Amino acid sequence: MEDHSLIQKIVARLEQLYPQASLELVYRNPFELLIAVILSAQCTDERVNQVTERLFREYPTPAALAAAPLETVEDIVRPTGFYRNKAKAVKGCAARLVEDHGGDVPKTLEALVRLPGVGRKTAAMVLGNAYGIQEGIAVDTHVLRVSQRLGITREKSPEAVESRLMALVPREKWTWFSNALILHGRRVCTAKKPSCPRCTLADWCAYGREASRSG
């Protein structure tokens, strides 16, 4: 009961801070979002947006990307890091969309995670943000860090953290909640120097209380 009371207070405050929380990736359709999320692994959204502007201009559809020369795709996505693996993943993903789904991005978690380069986190992001389908809470490094600092979860793995959060957060808010924690992790609760003095979640934050005592 205490955990549910805590999460209700945190959700209410986050709704004041980020009422329309959305991803900072730029996309116009589910296909573009899917590819952008794959490229965002260990890369900033700002850099991904710079890369996808060219990528989607030259290869605007799954069929076009699937047929693109691998070397050209590697050159385009190079700034995102791990470019060889990412180029293979996005080309393979596009090809599978054409072969198995008529060029459309599927609307089920099971189908999405069978695509090259797509795990549960990516699938949850795409379903929630592109289709409004609540199948999970995408746990990236920001969601992991902020939820642990707040004391919402003590679990360590993204899978365990997601399971915990899904049990506490109302299902209709799953996508919004993930997006809100991502924004909060980027703007306030940063990895190296969290801005605890200006954080409006500080009253319920285990990390903030400890930082206050030690400071």
Q: Where in the sequence numbering do the catalytic residues fall?
A: 121, 140
Quick one: 146 exposed, middle or buried, by C-beta within 10 A (0-12, 13-18, 19+)? buried
Which tokens is 133 given?
């389908």
- 141-150 and 174-187 helices cross at what angle (nearest 10)? 90
SS3 123: helix
Residue type present at position 162:
E
Burial of 7 (0-12, 13-18, 19+ CB in 10 A): buried
d(CA 29, CA 6): 36
CB atoms within 10 A of CB 203: 11
Q: What is the DSSP letter of 36?
A: H
